[in-house]
Structure 1
């Protein structure tokens, strides 16, 4: 099958970090996944080497969007390191992360290309990670391929992906924030510019171009995501303990 489709991804984990412009000893994170980070995740799963710009180009051309389903908490960490050869101490660096965040990301493009990327996520060549190697995803990343769909429609219609413990305290949201690329010929009155359009991941000359990002609210699908993807619910053990105590209290 040819034509345009949308591949949906659930990006969730204990920690995520999506840098767009940080350098040197201060490594910040954006409040949502960057296009560069998500394309890097897909490229790693597909086994594309960092210097293979020719294979990267079709992935970089995909239209990208993300929905903030669970914003998480920004935290700071101090990182120490030593030179691999000399053993000398490297400068202390300050690194920022998003803790307990959940995002719905999606890429729109050629159906055949996205089918291959979906299959790669299910049997990745290199392990995917959420912005940094120290941030593995929790649970399955691939949420399926939507044939003939459009990016905005998928970001609006997909069920709310927040964790079960977060939904307990927040119920169904009135609106969620979507950040996406404008479509071909789409008239955009207000937009932001972000330098996260990947050009090359080569370690010797990593390059990114500017990208236009549109921000807008959407009402997500009415059904919440199934609990099967919640790999860790910190309240589950407490709920089970309370249920046992209740049974004990009912005994004569």
Structure 2
């Protein structure tokens, strides 16, 4: 039996950042390792510039995701006015930026993607080198040090995380943990209201048979979402395994 910390993610808007080039800011359909570590780090009060704290957190857990719904794609055409670089000038607040002379103000255009009404279950488990316990993480998620949001500050949580400790023989058993229905009195009402699709996706790290001991139907790829340096926004690759199953099999 393995001990897992399991919690739920739901919000009207979420954005799971992928590699961004130029003015396009895409989103993945589900949270990756960097997103989950960012959420846990904010709950624990670990600042981005705290390299030791970030490393301790990253070395402490492995992660897995159950995607009940990826949500629908929303694309926002975004404009922002920012001052250009000025020698000897540092803008510490948005107020400082807006107070810059108009002649040095630039307009930045970007296209930002969001997932609407996505629903995910997250399971994390401790590594052999864990410095932060799952119990400490659970307590932090219940009383976070910093506000929690799903990818961007414009994406606050819309339902309790409901973190709980689960003893399970297989990872899939932990990910299939039932949470209180979000919409309506019965699960069928929730499926209709949230437009839950017919397929459930499991995504995990560790090994091809880590989910339930089976390798049939598993696909994998390298994803660049393993934080290397939060201050410089540097990420490295990791292997992510995925399997799609019918919703009836992934309750």
- Where on the TM-score scale, by shorter chain, does this alignment land: which range? 0.7 to 0.9
The whole-number CA distance in structure 1 between the counterparts of 2:223 and 2:250 is 32
In the alignment, is the contact (CA less than 8 A) between 1:47 and 1:126 conserved in 2?
yes
Task: Answer 1 or 2: which has greater helix percent.
Answer: 1
- SS in structure 1 opposite 2:57? helix
Specify the alignment match of 1:128 in structure 2: 148
Which residue, out of 202, 214, 217, partners 1:178? Answer: 202
TM-score by length of 2: 0.75
The whole-number CA distance in structure 1 between the counterparts of 2:44 and 2:155 is 19
**Following TM superposition, by how much is the alpha carbon of 1:161 offset from its aligned partner in structure 2, in angstroms?**
7.3
**Following TM superposition, by how much is the alpha carbon of 1:4 offset from its aligned partner in structure 2, in angstroms?**
5.2
Does residue 1:145 correspond to 2:172, yes or no? Answer: no
Specify the alignment match of 2:27 in structure 1: 29
Superposed CA RMSD in Å reads 3.1
**Residue 8 and residue 168 in structure 1: after superposition, are their counterparts in 2 closer, same or farther (change >3 A)?**
same
The whole-number CA distance in structure 2 between the counterparts of 1:143 and 1:7 is 7
The whole-number CA distance in structure 2 between the counterparts of 1:105 and 1:40 is 13
Does residue 1:55 correspond to 2:53, yes or no? Answer: yes
- SS in structure 2 opposite 1:120? helix
Does residue 1:158 correspond to 2:182, yes or no? Answer: no
Aligned length: 219
**Following TM superposition, by how much is the alpha carbon of 1:8 offset from its aligned partner in structure 2, in angstroms?**
1.0
More moved, 172-181 vs 210-219: 172-181
Does residue 1:206 correspond to 2:233, yes or no? Answer: yes
The whole-number CA distance in structure 1 between the counterparts of 2:107 and 2:63 is 36
**Following TM superposition, by how much is the alpha carbon of 1:128 offset from its aligned partner in structure 2, in angstroms?**
0.8
**Following TM superposition, by how much is the alpha carbon of 1:89 offset from its aligned partner in structure 2, in angstroms?**
3.3
- SS in structure 2 opposite 1:159? coil
Task: Answer 1 or 2: which has greater strand percent.
Answer: 2
**Residue 170 and residue 47 in structure 1: after superposition, are their counterparts in 2 closer, same or farther (change >3 A)?**
closer
In the alignment, is the contact (CA less than 8 A) between 1:108 and 1:151 conserved in 2?
no
In the alignment, is the contact (CA less than 8 A) between 1:68 and 1:104 conserved in 2?
yes
In the alignment, is the contact (CA less than 8 A) between 1:4 and 1:109 conserved in 2?
no
**Residue 198 and residue 172 in structure 1: after superposition, are their counterparts in 2 closer, same or farther (change >3 A)?**
closer
Q: Deviations along 1:140-179, whole A, 9 cap, x unmatched?
A: 1133111465533312x32377743442369997651101
* Counterparts of residues 73-88 of structure 1 (less than 5 Å): 73-83=72-82, 84=94, 85=97, 86=100, 88=105
In the alignment, is the contact (CA less than 8 A) between 1:70 and 1:162 conserved in 2?
no
**Residue 5 and residue 184 in structure 1: after superposition, are their counterparts in 2 closer, same or farther (change >3 A)?**
farther
